[in-house]
Amino acid sequence: MTRSEWRTRLRDALLSLIQGQMTNDDFDCLYYDEWADSPDRAVAEIGKFGWGLYSSDLPLPYRLTGRYAVNDRTRQVAERCLLFLANDLEYGWPEAPGQVLERAAGGCAISLGLPLGIALLLVAGLMLATVSVIWFLLLAVPGGILLGASLLMLKSCADRERGPWRRYWAAGDREAWPFLRREEYSHCSATSAHLDV
């Protein structure tokens, strides 16, 4: 498949996803089969953007409509993605910071740290009412520390303004992504037919 064909297929699928015509499962299949490992970095990165618009963890497929519809800001980014894919520009952004460790840490905080911290605090409350202050302290202090650490970890994982992300966004104009510069976006926007999302 040529670069132009890949971009056209992704543009059509992303438009269908945003408009609620394609399910998350259908986009998932296309993303992993065609775009996740594309040699065209624009296709790989914009495909990842589309893949990030929904959750694959829900038991049934769904469309991005109603409560799942994308917000206006995300819709604007999607419009820029569609415009970028309609052109033959090179993708100029550097590699995005890796998120494997962040996602693993966030997963541990959500699935282990928060529930265990809450459970320890609840049991500590019961101990205070029935047994003694010492048991309360032995459970409440670690529970509070675990809960606080988990919340800080989640906040840190979600922070796209720190170190590596700050360097990434400094490479171009964040409000023009996937275009590197606002001038590229403005030029393509002025010379291309408007792509309604």
What mean pLDDT comes out for the span 126-130? 77
pLDDT of residue 19: 96
- Residue 98 tokens read as 């890796």
Q: Confidence class of residue 192 from pLDDT cuts 50, 70 and 90?
A: confident
* 139, 123 contact by CB (below 8 A): yes
User: How far, in Å, CA of 100 to CA of 28, rounded?
Assistant: 19
More confident: 96 or 19: 19
Q: Is the peptide bond before 178 cis (omega within 30 degrees of 0)?
A: yes
User: So what's the pLDDT on residue 159?
Assistant: 60
pLDDT at 101 exceeding the cut of 60:
no
More confident residue, 129 or 106: 129
Q: What is the pTM of this model?
A: 0.70
Query: What is the rounded distance in angstroms from the CA atom of residue 1 to the CA atom of residue 71?
Result: 33
- Is there a contact between 186 and 195 (Cβ–Cβ < 8 Å)? no
Tokens representing 121 are: 């605090």
Distance CA 12, CA 63 (A): 15
Question: Strand, coil or helix: what is 23?
Answer: strand
pLDDT in tens, 2-61: 889 999 999 999 999 999 999 999 999 999 999 999 999 999 999 999 999 988 777 899
Cα separation, 137 vs 64, whole angstroms: 47
Q: What is the pLDDT of residues 132-187, one digit of tens each?
A: 778 788 888 888 898 888 887 777 666 655 667 788 888 999 999 999 999 999 99
**Cβ neighbours, 10 Å, residue 157:** 18
Q: How far apart are CA 45 and CA 41, in angstroms?
A: 6
R_g over Cα of the chain: 22
pLDDT recorded at residue 99: 56
Per the DSSP assignment, residues forming a β-bridge with 63 are 23
Tell me: pLDDT of 98 over 70: no
